[in-house]
Amino acid sequence: MLEKLKEATLEANLEIVRRGLVLYTFGNASGIERDSGLVVIKPSGVDYDELTPDQMVVTDMNGAIVEGSLRPSSDLKTHLALYEAFPSIGAVVHTHSEHATAWAQAGLEIPSFGTTHADYFHGPVPCTRELSDEEINGDYVLNTGKAIIEEFESLDPLAVPAVLVAGHAPFAWGRDPHEAAHNAVVLEAVAKMALMTMQLNPTAGVSQALLDRHYFRKHGANATYGQSENS
């Protein structure tokens, strides 16, 4: 069942390890097949060195296991909430990458300091509000998803394909597992650069025109970056 999605989801999980975004088992990636409404996600607490496609867990949108003998990631309900709220996305990646997590722990958004950021994120990467004690002591994982969704009430999740969860760590997403992992890697890079920029010049900034120029050269109907399919 969903063999191609299992392989793609496994590869996304392995990619975030290769790129240094994950220590031990601190992270997970998932993908969704929209036609069936089924989700493939990393099993909880399994070492990445031991992962195989057959170990990926398949669940429905209610979190019920459809296929697999292992427990799904403990972050499953957050992933499911994002799939429900953001129909344009096809995969979610969660890491505790060092620099993005530092911004999350500080409760700060990552500002749009330059064109590297703008190539992927059309605006600051937001940070959620802190969860209340009741939310933490209740359905914490689901409430984490709800806090992310609140932050995107006026944002396009594909224009800003990542978020920082206050006091916790980042989530990123994309149209498929490869893109979601790619965005998670870029998020860590821009988080590191933003921190260095703040240290060098806390009042740094660039024009919206320059940010727009770089974002739209890669995104939208008039994108010019890369090769056309017919070239």
Residue-wise pLDDT for 129-163, tens only, equals 999 999 999 999 999 999 999 999 999 999 999 99
Task: Identify the pLDDT of residue 146.
Answer: 98
* pTM recorded for the entire structure: 0.93
Average pLDDT over residues 185-197: 98
Place of tokens 């995969």: 91
Residue-by-residue DSSP string for 7-38: HHHHHHHHHHHHTT--STT-EEEEEEETTTTE
Contact in structure between 173 and 180 (CB atoms under 8 Å): yes
Q: In what order do the strands lie in the sheet with 57-59?
A: 65-67, 57-59, 38-41, 27-33, 91-95, 170-174, 162-164
Give 219's pLDDT tier (boundaries 50, 70, 90). Answer: confident
- In the chain, DSSP assigns E strands to 27-33, 38-41, 57-59, 65-67, 91-95, 162-164, 170-174
**Where do runs of H (alpha helix) occur along 20-132?**
76-85, 98-106, 115-118
Q: CA 101, 104, 110: angle at the middle one, nearest 5?
A: 100
Q: Residue 225: is its pLDDT beyond 90?
A: no
Residue-wise pLDDT for 78-98, tens only, equals 999 999 999 999 999 999 999
Nearest of 52, 79, 51 to residue 63 by alpha carbon: 79
Contact in structure between 110 and 166 (CB atoms under 8 Å): no
* Residue % of the chain over a pLDDT of 70: 95
d(CA 38, CA 223) in angstroms, rounded, equals 32
Task: Identify the pLDDT of residue 218.
Answer: 81
d(CA 207, CA 212) in angstroms, rounded, equals 9
Task: Identify the pLDDT of residue 137.
Answer: 98
Sign of the dihedral through C-alpha 129, 130, 134, 139: positive
Homologous superfamily, domain 3-218: Class II aldolase/adducin N-terminal domain (3.40.225.10)
Nearest of 142, 128, 135, 134 to residue 61 by alpha carbon: 142
- Residue ranges of domains in the chain: 3-218
Task: Identify the pLDDT of residue 76.
Answer: 98
Instruction: Please provide residue 55's backbone torsions phi and psi, each rounded to the nearest 5 degrees.
Output: -85, -15
Task: Identify the pLDDT of residue 227.
Answer: 53
Contact in structure between 13 and 37 (CB atoms under 8 Å): no
Task: Identify the pLDDT of residue 231.
Answer: 42
What residues act catalytically? 119, 225
Residue bearing the bigger pLDDT, 218 or 34: 34
